[in-house]
Amino acid sequence: MKALTVLKEYLDYLEVERGRAVVTRRAYAHYLERFLTAAKITDVSDITEQGIRDFRLALAREDLKKATQSQYVIALRSFLKYLAKRGHETVPPERIELLKAPARQVEIISHVELERLLDAPDTKTLAGVRDKAMLELFFCTGLRLSELCALDRFIDLKKGELTVRGKGGKVRLVFLSPTACKAVAAYMDRRTDAEIPLFVSILKGKIIGRITPRAVERMIGRYGVQAGIIGKKLSPHTLRHCFATDLLANGADIRSVQEMLGHASIATTQIYTHVTNKHLREVYKAFHGKRRSEEE
């Protein structure tokens, strides 16, 4: 059967039956179309282990990041599973091994740096109160960038909680701190439009639609510089890291943090325990050994 025809069916299945986001569909389409082209596959029966190995070798020689290479492999394995499920004779997906990814490095800023970042926006302007609300929401909820950008304005701040739809269409509850509620309320009080998105792009004082993820990334980088946070690459994920490590450092159990972050696997959440353990070691060295050294 024609590979491109089956690929179209698979992408429809991914979006409709598996409930994956449109951006996920686009990404998988890119990965798989590139594989089919590079391996010169016109029919699904043309897919071979050797063709897959050659494609992976080509990716590695492009010096792509391991994480990016893994995305290609994950998409390919998912496609092969779909083919097997539909009765096509092809390479068994379990024969395709995933890359061993290096441990993720978590960029953490200090509490003082965090406070400077949160206080950086000029709240005399609409853009400033918007940015303040976004920063506070990021830190108090641990939302992903895509989740924050997708929020609509009709939320009940009195309840102090939000329902968000995360990766894979999974719904979870996140909680708002009084500080975040106050910041969002101040922002909403300044809005005089009827636009549905909670966070909007503003150009020369005019609202031009829902804010884009790239605009939020630039905003956080700009405030990082303004707050004097040097030598660290700040991103929306930095505040998600701060949210997780703050919870763990203050005694939250990892399962609860996993649920609040919306991680499918606890292994993803465990990267934060290494940061927290490092912090605890520093506290131990600073205070536990102090008395003994003084006695000596």
List the catalytic residues. Answer: 144, 167, 237, 240, 263, 272
**CA 227 – CA 219 distance, rounded (Å):** 12
**CA 219 – CA 11 distance, rounded (Å):** 34
Those residues whose C-beta lies under 8 Å from the C-beta of residue 274, and which sit 6 or more positions away, are 103, 106
Q: List Cα–Cα distances, 252 to 166, 177, 247, in angstroms.
A: 22, 16, 5
Please say whether the beta carbons of 80 and 93 come within 8 A: yes
Amino acid at residue number 171? V
CA neighbours closer than 13 Å in the CB half-sphere of residue 234: 26
Beta strand residue intervals within the chain, DSSP E? 161-165, 171-175, 200-203, 206-210
